[in-house]
Amino acid sequence: SGSTVILEGKAFGDQVAFGQVFFVDGAGLPVEATVALEDNWTNEFVVTTVPAGAETGPLWIETPTGATDSIEFRVTQSASFSPSQINWTATTPLPEALQGLGAVYLPVETGAGAGQLVFVTGGADGALSPTTTVRYSEIDATGQFSAWTDGQSLPAARAFHGAALATPFNALVDTLQAGQLFVVGGIDDTGAPTSTVYHSPVELDRTNPVWSEVTPLPQPLHSMGVTVFRSWLYVAGGAGPGNAPSDAVYRARIQEDGSLGPWETQPALPIAVAYTSLAQSAGVLYVPGGETGAVAPGDATLTATRTSDIVYAPLDLRTGEVPIGSWAANSSSLIKNRSSHTAVVAGGWVLVSGGLYNGAANSSTEHSYAAIQVDGTLASFGGATGSQTIAAAGGVPFFHHAALQYVDASLEAHVVVLGGTAVSDPATPIADVY
């Protein structure tokens, strides 16, 4: 209970006094949720929190004009996250070793075809040659990955791109499809950054039948952060021609059919940065660490231009815009200067994994984590070492990997790290999945 939930739709009315949000308890009886602020109830979205006693089951909104259709809301138990209390285990490896790959999680929706999937898009081999390959793996009841299946290949080879997935859980997209998959920018088969954005629908049977080119980025970029929030696709940072880092922040509206509206420029990051992540939790964007100098993909040099700074910005929940002047430095920073890492939001925590940092070759501080506080800032980071590392599970120190969070059929949350390349040998990509 207490987790923030944002419900998006239409015709909710714009007055909190005349609406109610209902979850259900273990007996299937309605449990009303609290909407704390008047601004949290609008005609198109409602912000509430999971009430005490709520269990997995239908969730709906009632207004004087009637009740909405219900959606299935899954309540996970014991979701508090701490890498010092978990173990990494290997699951089905990728069919080929890849670095600079994209990965997204497709949740299951009641009555929607096959089960939960993880899609992997593009990536590069040890010679930094990108691939057009798209693959997916179904997550079984225990959280393990099935054999990888080939999906529809990309129109052109891409690596070090952004990968994102819009679903009915995070966007107003066609509910007769399971989701809308995006591959944003990246390097092409000449090694140059590109501005292209590819889109493929994911059907209810979990296939992605066709790719199309949608609205390109305003500039060519690779190694940027991407995320989806309330039907908007966001891009932050990245590297352009000459591998120069960018401070640009863009957003584009995801249409119901998966096409994109025009890219809109948002207030820039306080620093130009590449090889970083863009994490999102309850409408707050986070950009942790990264590389502030011009560094080529695959370069494992521990530069003096890596940063430990974390910048964040609360979005305007009504408009989805980054308000002017809202980017701020978090009071606590990463434990070490770090780039080419991942940041995943899980159970109210931010988990930072892998990357290039002092000590990476020995898997020291392979994972670090911080709690997301009520005001949206991040608490101080703690580190996970020793038996709580992927190295201890048989892996090697890694960077240029992908990572995501998913929930299995028993409502247990997992974090997965896919591929990457070895810190000790940048010409040796990794096929492992943990």
Q: What is the pLDDT of residue 43?
A: 87
What number is the average pLDDT over the span 179-208? 94
Confidence of residue 207 (pLDDT cuts 50, 70, 90): confident
Q: Which residues pair with 104 in a beta bridge?
A: 119
Token digits of residue 166: 């819009």
Q: Are 220 and 235 in contact (CB under 8 A)?
A: no
Amino acid at residue number 129: S
Q: What is the pLDDT of residue 81?
A: 60
Q: Are 135 and 95 in contact (CB under 8 A)?
A: yes
- Which of the residue ranges 179-193, 219-233, 273-287, 402-416 would you say has the lowest mean pLDDT? 402-416
Token digits of residue 198: 């590819």
Confidence of residue 300 (pLDDT cuts 50, 70, 90): very high
The highest-confidence range among 80-89, 187-196, 378-387, by mean pLDDT, is 187-196
Reduce the DSSP state of residue 392 to 3 states and report it: helix
Residue with more model confidence, 144 or 264: 264
Residue with more model confidence, 384 or 52: 52
Residue 79, pLDDT > 60, answer: no
Q: Are 11 and 65 in contact (CB under 8 A)?
A: yes
What are the φ and ψ backbone dihedral angles of 202, each rounded to 5 degrees? -110, 115
- The pLDDT tens digits for 55-72 are 989 999 999 888 988 888
Reduce the DSSP state of residue 362 to 3 states and report it: helix
Residue 168, pLDDT > 60, answer: yes
Residue 115, pLDDT > 80, answer: no
Start-to-end CA span in the chain (Å):
29
Q: What is the pLDDT of residue 113?
A: 42
Q: What is the pLDDT of residue 13?
A: 84
Residue 351, pLDDT > 90, answer: yes
- The pLDDT tens digits for 306-340 are 999 999 999 988 889 999 999 999 999 999 999 99
Residue 218: how many CB atoms within 10 A of its CB? 15
- The pLDDT tens digits for 265-278 are 999 999 999 999 99
- The pLDDT tens digits for 355-379 are 999 999 988 889 999 999 988 999 9
